[in-house]
Chains A and B, each alone.
Chain A
Amino acid sequence: MTWENSDTTDPHHLRRITVIWLVLSIVLDLLYWFLVGPHVPPGRMTSTAKADQFDFNVLFVIALPVLVGIWEYMAYSIFAWGSKRKGVPEPVGGPTAAGNKKTEVTWIVITSVVVLLLAAFGTFSVVTGHGSGGGEGPNPLWSPAGSVKAETAALAGTGSWAPNTGAVLPVQVIGQQWKWTYRYPTFGGFESSQLVVPNNTEIEFNVTSLDVIHSFWAYQLEVKADANPQQNNVAFTKTEQLGPFVVRCSELCGIWHGAMFNYGKVVSQSAFMTWANQTETANAANTSNLPPFAWTYVPDANGASGGYYPDGKLTPYSTVETYGSKQPGS
């Protein structure tokens, strides 16, 4: 195409490469999209899982021709342009073009356009997907309808959730070395080491930590949000299928990081209501020992009975609720 003309007897390498590339790319892309795409992790259990799987597949369909093109070119060059005269470097052949403006400009334009399109597509997905299941920090920009209301009500202790109302369910995820626990502010703020969520519901995960940084990764739900001390990291997803899912910690948090996992489940709305009411009753004694529900808590930076910080006291200016604060003077 471009610098072919230096030797007209040479076969049209670029044309040949392009044709093979086109055929291979189309075939592989179609095979991928229809055969592999629907099974790509993390599956289709929630709205974010579906959306992120779609994103992954779009990226893959764009990436595949790039991979195929460059590998094919490299393989072609090995077979077509390998030196036949072993160990004898000279005399040598080949065009001595040290550059070709047309090729260079074409390359830059194509890569730039692809990259900008990808960035635009990614931005569109993350905005419409309410953050795509990733932690959005304490003030999420992109949230589903009703979430602000649910959040305000939960903090005021007036939040409620009932089946078939379409209400958002706020769930607090508390990371601590080395276990996840969950609080349900719309059910009296009870705490449980089990994560149960209703189906067909927008879930608002409020992720925080009592000590070091963890990362809440509900794999099949496609939710991932770091648990930071004294920060509320909010992530959204809408459940769409019943079934169990696994929760892991995906940020190294110390010795038992690898063991910091458990299983949750998505159940029907009525089954969830039953479970939540039962647990609220069963845990009532323990709930009364807990601090009032808040988005974040100040853990005691000191150990059970001795301090890293010599004063052994919390900072006087912390206004949020403290886990482990109701200590008798010891």
Chain B
Amino acid sequence: MTLSAERPNEVEVYSHVPPASTGATRKKGRGWLSQHVGTAIVAGFLGYIFGHWLGNMISSGYTVEVNTGQNSIADLLALVFMVLGWLIGIGALNYPLAKLVGREPSSSTSSSAPTLEDDVGGEAKVDGELEGWSRYFRYNLDHKVVGLQYVVAVLMFLFTGGLLAMAIRTELLNPTTHVFSADTYIKIVSEHGTIMMMMASSVVVGPLGNYFVPLMIGARRMAFPRIEAFSLWVFVAGYMVIFSALPFGGFPTGWTGYAPLQTQAGPGMVSYLFGFFVIGLGMMAAGFNLLVTIINYRAPGMTWSRVPVFVWSILATAALLTLATPVLAAGGLFGLLDKTVQTAFYVTEHGGSSFLWQNLFWFFGHPEVYIMALPGFGIVGEIIPVFCRKPLFAYRIAAAGMIGVALLSFFVWQHHLFQSGIDPDMRPLFMLTTELISIPTGFIFLVGMGTLYRAKIRFEVPMLFCMAVYFNFLIGGVSGVFLSDVPVNVTVHGGFFVLSHFHYTIMGGLIFAFMAGLYFWLPKMTGREMNKKLGLWHFWTMFVFFNLTFFPMFFIGLLGQPRRVFTYAKNLQALNDFSSVSAFLLGLSFVIFVVNLMWSQFIKPKKAAANPWDSLGLEWQTATPIPPHNFDRIPVIMTDPYHYSEEGAPALAYFGEDDHVPVRSGSSTSGDGPA
């Protein structure tokens, strides 16, 4: 199926004709006094103050609020208005509010037919700026700008969570002597888990999904540029909300937020519940946008059997984001009602149920786990053929695996509740569905191994990270089978074995894949190379110390150490110390990454070749830097992008010029890096 017939005007040649009416609207998006991150921070701060005042005014008479010396209604309203202020300050609401009062943005009225200026340029200039460094600090609708903004945002999450992980490992150096007090330790653990889960839900979808999906499917933009920018700025607002838990005294529930402990907790819990709600908004928006984009914005000829495997993985992830996250958002709202106006959704004594949260949370939570795994599979599937110089093995199986994992992930959530007192006859069913999920996951291994078979493998940094994903995810996946088995689950549930298992899948899988993606695609995103030597140092330290940190935790768990404890058996100190020291070294490995990132991208940038890895992917066939409209002509796709080493293979795409040849390494066809 091709979409060319449905969207004929997309194939038209783009002409650099500026829109007729510029004038006043053009000036709107410039200068220090216009809307940017700074105004957003100020507006968010003002919103916080206003919300807190409002909450105290309307609810100070509640006895329960007086008793605790705190006011959770004020805490919640402060956060609500902070997010609102932030969105107003960054300019996210300009367009919706203008539409609300009946004012059309002027650039849309300039011509009758939609042009590219309308698609990207016009609105980008109204809401932000099209060029110059300041666009990265503004509400920008260009998916490439948003992609890079997302990189910074997820790294902010990642490093905050990482520092908290260092604090956890410091406390666990000794079984009885404490660095932090018991409540501070729980607070750190909870904050670490929540921040990392929030980060991981967007770490690939946000930066690489937004940046490369349109480029890979031959589109000029995302389907909904405003929703795309909204998802980013809401994601950043979510960071502030969840971080606000720390000054509020933290929350004691871990990232799972089990009720009724949730209802008992202090004001930090409001940040957790509302934070997940805010992040959830961003996840739903991003997922919905990607879903629509992938379905509707594929270039002519980009049939489902030619869609890059990374796009397949993002499609599956986007479906999960769209369908699973609303459950969490609703669950969070129930919790907020329990905390602010004393409803009893989760309080058994008053007619609620503590199982309700567990089920709502994990009904979201398990798809979430695959939200955090699938994009990694996609990256690996995309990168391995490039460095093997072979076609992707069993492309259809790869796509089927991703869709299969996504579908099955909705039917496994009760395996988190095997010992919780659920109806016992549910157990064999959920054991079966959970183990079934290893079949489509196994497809990903088949694809990788088939592609490696008799290849000519180049061990560049991205490829090394991909190999590490297979190594780590294998351990994570196999340990998952142990967890899914009910009898073994009695031993390992709620202990360090689980902890190690999911760090192997999320960090060992997704974060390693994200690093592979960054090293692979950053030359395209910024036009600047990453330093290979530092990259190799980063890879080897991260790989070795990741395994040294988390592998002992399988034993720690089997030997009986529950999760989230600040005291443990004395005989486990050696293993814990080993793990802690490795964790500190793992932290240092990320310092190498930051140094590399800063050095190669900012301090002493080196221009990257236009297609340094000699990939056949459509995203590499554009000029560097990528023009705002991505493609001068919408390409017509001729085949799938994996015809490596195939003599006489058809060209990937027809760009409308007879002399166009795919960009190969060293040709460095055009352009300087961004200013």
A-side residues, CB < 8 A to B, are: 3, 7, 10, 13, 40-42, 48, 51-52, 55-56, 59-60, 63, 66-67, 70-71, 73-74, 77-78, 81-83, 85-87, 89-90, 92-100, 103-104, 107-108, 111-112, 115-116, 118-119, 122-123, 125-127, 129, 131-142, 207, 211-213, 215, 217, 219, 222-226, 228-231, 233, 235, 246, 248-259, 261, 298-301, 306-310, 314-315, 318
Structural contact, B459 and A228, CB atoms closer than 8 A: no
**B388 to A: closest C-beta gap in Å:** 7
- Of all A-B residue pairs in the complex, the 10 with the closest CB atoms, nearest first, are A258-B565, A250-B494, A92-B389, A233-B421, A132-B487, A98-B391, A250-B562, A258-B566, A123-B428, A212-B261
Given contacts A92-B456, A315-B349, A252 and B425 within 8 Å (CB-CB):
no
* Residue of A whose beta carbon sits closest to that of B386: A89
Residues of A within 8 A of B182 (CB): 255-256, 258-259
Structural contact, A78 and B467, CB atoms closer than 8 A: yes
Structural contact, B424 and A112, CB atoms closer than 8 A: no
Structural contact, A94 and B389, CB atoms closer than 8 A: yes
Contact of B393 among A83, A98, A122, A255 (CB under 8 A): A98
- CA A226 to CA B422, docked complex, whole Å: 10
Residues of A within 8 A of B642 (CB): 98
Structural contact, A94 and B645, CB atoms closer than 8 A: yes
- CA A122 to CA B431, docked complex, whole Å: 8
Structural contact, B439 and A10, CB atoms closer than 8 A: no
Judge if B299 is at the interface, Cβ distance under 8 Å.
no
Contact of B494 among A83, A132, A136, A251 (CB under 8 A): A251
Judge if B564 is at the interface, Cβ distance under 8 Å.
yes
Structural contact, B470 and A74, CB atoms closer than 8 A: yes
Instruction: State how many residues of chain B have any CB contact under 8 Å with chain A.
Output: 104
Structural contact, A99 and B450, CB atoms closer than 8 A: yes
Structural contact, B446 and A104, CB atoms closer than 8 A: yes
Residues of B within 8 A of A100 (CB): 393-394, 450
**A212 to B: closest C-beta gap in Å:** 4
**A324 to B: closest C-beta gap in Å:** 11
Residues of B within 8 A of A213 (CB): 258, 260-261, 354, 420
Given contacts A74-B452, A115-B438, A217-B494, A308 and B64 within 8 Å (CB-CB):
yes
Identify which of residues 59-76 in chain B touch chain A, using a CB-to-CB cut-off of 8 Å.
62-64, 67
Can you list, as one digit per residue, whether each of B555-598 has a CB less than 8 Å from chain A (1) or not (0)? 00011101111111100000000000000000000000000000
List the one stretch of B215-223, B478-486, B515-523 in contact with chain A: B478-486
**A47 to B: closest C-beta gap in Å:** 12
**B391 to A: closest C-beta gap in Å:** 4
Structural contact, B560 and A67, CB atoms closer than 8 A: no
Given contacts A252-B258, A308-B342, A310-B63, A115 and B435 within 8 Å (CB-CB):
yes
Given contacts A142-B424, A254-B264, A118 and B485 within 8 Å (CB-CB):
yes
Contact of B349 among A77, A256, A301 (CB under 8 A): A301
Identify which of residues 329-370 in chain B touch chain A, using a CB-to-CB cut-off of 8 Å.
342, 344, 347-351, 354-355
18 sample A-B contacts, Cβ–Cβ < 8 Å, listed by A number: A42-B560, A52-B487, A55-B487, A70-B449, A74-B449, A83-B458, A83-B459, A85-B456, A94-B455, A100-B450, A122-B484, A122-B485, A126-B487, A134-B418, A212-B260, A224-B494, A252-B563, A300-B349
**B236 to A: closest C-beta gap in Å:** 28
